[in-house]
Amino acid sequence: MKRFIAQCFCLLLLLPAFPSLAADYTVSFNQIVEHPALDSLRQGVKDELAAQGLSVDYHDHIAQGNIATANLIAKQILGEQPDVAVGIATPTAQACAQVIKNIPIIFAAVTDPVGAGLVQSLERPGGNVTGTTDMSPINRQLELMLEFLPELKTMGVIYNSGEVNSVTLVRVLKEEAKKKGIVVEEATVSNSAGVSQAAKSLIGKVEAVYIPTDNTVVSAIEAITQVGYLAKLPIFAADTDSVTRGAVAALAVDYYKMGRQTGEMVSRALKGANPADMPVETLREFRIHLNPGSAAKMGLEIPAALLQKADKIIE
């Protein structure tokens, strides 16, 4: 038996070495927080690269809403030396851009890439950073709210004033709302724990609440919709996933599709394209999602015309 085992061992030594199964590329993600919109975006990137037949190893990093953690992750990614780094949302994209200078960075879900200091211009980014912007179609979102509430005069907005993208969105929101004779009441938070209280602070002051694509607030959207149910206060969102989670309606970016579009840009960077010459891209289409159950709980009825043109109705 010992002789047989020794012979088998010798035969194994003589067998030719099998080729490595290592992937052709490595991609590292730095994502600010876990919530369905950003998670589906990240999956969209992976699905697009798979659809293109690319063999990729992934390093997924989530900062859990903490900027200091996002900065540490950026340094970790630098040590990983991936072929491309992907920053999902403004704070994590900024963290990567501050640390990583010799690796292409593709961002996604960044509202104001120029204002955030990520690119020189949308047409000519100029450095090692480019990506996709999720700048909301705020004027069209206001028009959607007015289809529900034609006499709307006061609306609330809840956001984290520490998020650059949110500050930009609220500025644009107030400009567009003023044109329509709507006064905007702000409620700011610094973390997700304060979201419920911020929503309660708007009761009796506004006729509806708008939730922008603010990572801190969206991560706790259920706390806001619960307030909406109890106070009969309609909650409208700037992302479609929040409608599934209780908001009345959204005309918004489909974050999975944004992930697929971002994945196309990642693919080009993996194949040697220079981010400096890759214009920042905007999502090519928007979708309307409606939640009749939430609308009823918040004292609204969805207009029949909207039901007809909705892309998705949450049952």
**3-state class (DSSP) for residue 236:** strand
The residue extents of the domains of the chain are 25-135+254-285, 138-253+287-313
For 138-253+287-313, CATH number?
Answer: 3.40.50.2300
Q: CATH homologous superfamily for 25-135+254-285? A: Response regulator (3.40.50.2300)
- Block residue for tokens 């590292």: 28
Per-residue pLDDT reduced to its tens digit, 173-193: 999 999 999 999 999 999 999
pLDDT over threshold 80, residue 28: yes
pLDDT over threshold 60, residue 14: no
- pLDDT for the residue numbered 247: 98
What is the overall mean pLDDT for the chain?
A: 92
Q: Are domains 25-135+254-285 and 138-253+287-313 of this chain identical in fold? A: yes
The percent of the chain in helix, strand and coil, each rounded to the nearest 5, is 45, 20, 35
pLDDT over threshold 90, residue 286: no
In the chain, the percentage of residues whose pLDDT exceeds 90 is: 83
CB 125 within 8 A of CB 116: no
For CA atoms 158, 137, 94, 118, the dihedral sign is negative
Per-residue pLDDT reduced to its tens digit, 214-227: 989 999 999 999 99
Q: How far apart (Å, rounded) are the C-alpha atoms in residues 106 and 94?
A: 11
pTM above 0.85? no
